[in-house]
Structure 1
Amino acid sequence: MSNKINDELNKIKIPKELHERSKRGVRKAKLENQKRRIKNPVIAVAMVGVLMFGASSISPAFASTLQSIPIIGSIFGTVGDIGLKEADKSGLSQITNETFSVGESSFMIREAIYDGSRLSLGFIITNYSNELPFKKAAYKIDEMNFYGGASSQGEFINDKDYAGIISFIVPNELKRDSFNFSISFDEFNGKKGNWNLNIPVTKIEGESFLVMDEATSKDYKIKMKKVTFTSATTEINFDLTEPINAEELNQIIRFRLYDDQGNVVKELSAGGGGCSDCENIDGKITLDTSVQYEPLKHIPDYLIIEPYISSTSENIAELRMEIPLKESE
């Protein structure tokens, strides 16, 4: 059953009008998607009081079902990665409680966290039928079609109810401090229909540093632009020039990150978009790329980025860079 979540998310629709360059630019980090049952019922507590906040928008049947659902604290605190857990612990998650019901099954977007790049939504599905509704959904940021990459993780709360998180990477051209994220479903739990959820989103605060360093190898070039620290992530933003057929050649690169003490900073997700004035120059394309890593408790004096070939884990020594953190934006 765990592979089904990943399969469903990989089928999320990308608008037909999306330019081919942007399709090439969209990259999804293949994070480990987990779907497991909560193993320690002693530490599980009912979310009745918390979930009933804003209960006027919740159907009576769903409200009744929620009373029997045990979950540990918030969804982010239960099944989120380290960044989401830290942001939730700091009280930065936004309660949404957007929901709809179809027969005996209901779907709720419980909470949201947006760090300026990654938008994460905590959701609950009651009477889960082993088919996530996301693959046939359409997404918008305000009035603009959304096409970022997505990943998820989750847990069964009991035999039939599921709590999970779906995270989207917001393309740089759609990033803003606040927006309305809308999701439209035309199928849920095997039934056709039209259900719409609207989620107001506000970016959590962070500190950004402008970076001008760059490095070049035979096939690649990295031009650093910005490093941003929030309670949820550490984000590196840069222009990546690579062969236009890098994916076909199995030469996609990824990026290890270390702090100034040599500690590994774990990657959480990544995404990129095309650059209209530098597409297909001498057989190469430049992608406006952002990579998100776990949050750091303290801002270091510098970071070290170490690019490597994803398929072989081979380092590209010429691209290794020490990124100084001096000029705050």
Structure 2
Amino acid sequence: MNDLDKQLSERLRQNVKEPPASVVDRMNKTLNSLPERKERAPKNYKVMFGVAAAFFLMVIISMPMFQSVVPQGVQEDSLQESIFQLVGKGGLEQLSKEGLTFPMNLSATSNDITLEITEAMFDGTRLYFGFIETHPQPIDLIAVPEEDLLLKESRFFVGDRGDYYHMLGGKPTRQLSETKVAGVFGSSFVGDVNQLEDINITVYRGGEYAGEWEFLIDEIPVIEGVSSFSVDEMYLVDEQYEFYIEKVIQTPVTIEVYYSFDYPWVSPIKEYEFYQLKLLDLEGESYEPLYMGGGEKNKVFRVLSNGQDKGIRLQVNKFMNVNEDSNAMDSKALNEEVALDVVLEFGE
């Protein structure tokens, strides 16, 4: 008999209205015949509740930290493979999405600042690199003056072909973290070559974030899907100026026209005449221009396209700048019909 049974029995005996002796005797026999309960180890519910609460609290607190840290690492890994998709312009992002750029894993450190080249693109004439720049201390990309982050070219040497001194500049334009920024540097024109081998590139920068970073590259192949079409045609503009078309290069995202024009360029004055070149598709829609430049004789005009064009329309017209300010442009066409209108079909 346990204590509870004994207390109950005692209370029954002390009751003022005492039951008959026969009833009391039978009750005592029944109580004495009951099996005793097994003692159970006491449970400390407060301790158990505290442990469970602490566990769930720890999970709740750590969830934002996990979400912010782990995806950041994954994000940076993915960015290193697609800088062109993040900050590339002029069709670079599309080339990267289509897998037509060249992955790289090169790095150089100067003054504790590391430049890592993650991606390259060479389409036969222009060369670009995607890079990640890591600083030893946090950097605010927005607050830094442009000239303090502008990369400049000091040497661009390709095998035994000699030095190329075209601009290999650029600056980071996207903040990845407190210490990492991303950008693109490169040359809009390096000449018409089939392959870049044994490349030695050095970029430098002055100012607060000064440094000099050198990269040695064995080879950068031309991207796939590049076609070159020889034209070798000469046209007269206004019956006196020779306009010579040498060739057209088509890439998956651009069209480039190599040409020369013997129209003499004069320094701008308040009013002056000039010719303007533009490229249109066969339907007459103008392309988005990307680059127009080159030497005095050989020039290149690059536009953005989808790489599916079967031909282009090339037009040259004559304009007059009528703005009295020699530093401003306010022009009008001098004739209703274009001075030169040529249709070029690729591969013919």
Say whether 1:178 aligns with 2:200: no
CA distance in 2, matches of 1:44, 1:319: 56
Judge conservation of contact 2:124–2:222 (CA < 8 Å) in 1: yes
The residue that corresponds to 1:224 in the other structure is: 245
CA–CA distance in 2 between the matches of 1:124 and 1:222?
A: 43
Change (3 A) 1:188 1:96: farther
The equivalent residue for 1:16 is: none
Taking the aligned partners of 2:318 and 2:92, their CA distance within structure 1 comes to 26
Match of 1:140 among 157, 160, 174: 157
Match of 1:156 in 2: 175
TM-score (structure 2 length as normaliser): 0.61
1:42-83 C-alpha deviation (Å, 9 max, x unpaired): x98835546xxxxxxxxxxxxxxxxxxxx4961111111252
Do the aligned residues in 2 keep the contact of 1:215 with 1:321 (CA within 8 Å)? no
Following superposition, the deviation at residue 88 of structure 1 comes to: 1.3
Residues 101-250 of structure 1 aligned to structure 2 (within 5 Å): 101-127=109-135, 131-132=148-149, 134-135=151-152, 137-143=154-160, 144-149=162-167, 152=170, 154-172=173-191, 175-185=193-203, 190=208, 195-199=213-217, 200-205=219-224, 206-211=226-231, 212-217=233-238, 220-246=241-267
Conserved in 1, the CA contact under 8 Å of 2:241 and 2:261? yes
Q: From the superposition, tell whether residues 291 and 77 of structure 1 become closer, same or farther in structure 2 (CA, over 3 Å).
A: same
8 A contact 2:80–2:118 mirrored in 1: no
- Unmatched 5+ stretches in structure 2: 1-70, 322-328
Q: Which moved more, 1:116-125 or 1:181-190?
A: 181-190
Instruction: Tell me how far 1:256 sits from its aligned partner.
Output: 2.2
One of 299, 316, 336 as aligned partner of 1:289: 299
- Residue 97 (structure 1) aligns with: 105
- What is the distance in 1 between the residues matched to 2:268 and 2:167? 16
Q: Which residue of 1 aligns with 2:55?
A: none
Per the alignment, in what secondary structure is the counterpart of residue 145 of structure 1? coil
Q: Which amino acid in the other structure matches residue 85 of structure 1?
A: E
CA offsets per residue over residues 153-194 of structure 1, 9 Å max, x none? 73222444321112313343x633233332224656757776
Larger mean Cα displacement after TM superposition, 180-189 or 219-228:
180-189
Question: What's 2:95 paired with?
Answer: 87
**8 Å Cα contact 2:152-2:167 kept in structure 1:** no
Q: 2:315 aligns with which of 296, 302, 305?
A: 305
Q: Is the Cα–Cα contact under 8 Å of residues 157 and 200 in structure 2 kept in the other structure? A: yes
1:59 corresponding residue in structure 2:
none
C-alpha contact 2:81 2:118 (8 A) present in aligned 1:
no
SS at match of 1:76: helix
The letter of the residue matching 2:291 is: S
**Structure 1 residue 137: Cα displacement:** 2.8
Gaps of 5+ in 1: 1-42, 51-70, 275-286
Query: Equivalent residue of 1:86, what SS?
Result: helix
Task: Specify the alignment match of 2:28 in structure 1.
Answer: none
Q: Residues 191 and 157 of structure 1: is their aligned pair in 2 closer, same or farther, counting only changes over 3 Å? A: closer
Larger helix fraction of residues: 2
8 Å contact from structure 2 (residues 134, 179) kept in 1: yes
Give distance in 2, aligned partners of 1:270 and 1:181: 25
Hey, what's the Cα distance between the residues in 2 that align with 1:313 and 1:182?
Answer: 44
Please give the root-mean-square deviation of Cα atoms over the aligned residues, in Å: 3.5
Structure 1 residue 242, shift from structure 2 partner: 2.9
Q: What TM-score do you get using the length of structure 1 for normalisation?
A: 0.64
Letter in 2 for 1:138: R
Contact 2:254/2:307 (8 A) holds in 1: no
Residues 135 and 78 from structure 1, CA distance in 2 versus in 1: closer, same or farther, beyond 3 angstroms?
A: same
- Are the equivalent residues in 2 in contact too, given 1:219–1:243 (CA < 8 A)? no
Alignment counterpart, residue 340 of structure 2, candidates 310, 320, 326: 320
Letter of the aligned partner of 1:290 in structure 2?
A: V
- 1:263 CA displacement: 1.9
Q: State whether residues 277 and 314 of structure 2, in contact with CA within 8 Å, keep that contact through their aligned partners in structure 1.
A: no
Q: Separation in 1 of the partners of 2:341 and 2:246?
A: 13
Using the alignment, how far apart are the partners of 2:274 and 2:149 within structure 1?
29
Point out which structure has higher relative CO (alpha carbons under 8 A, 6+ apart): 1
Matching of residues 259-274 of structure 1 within 5 Å: 259-274=281-296
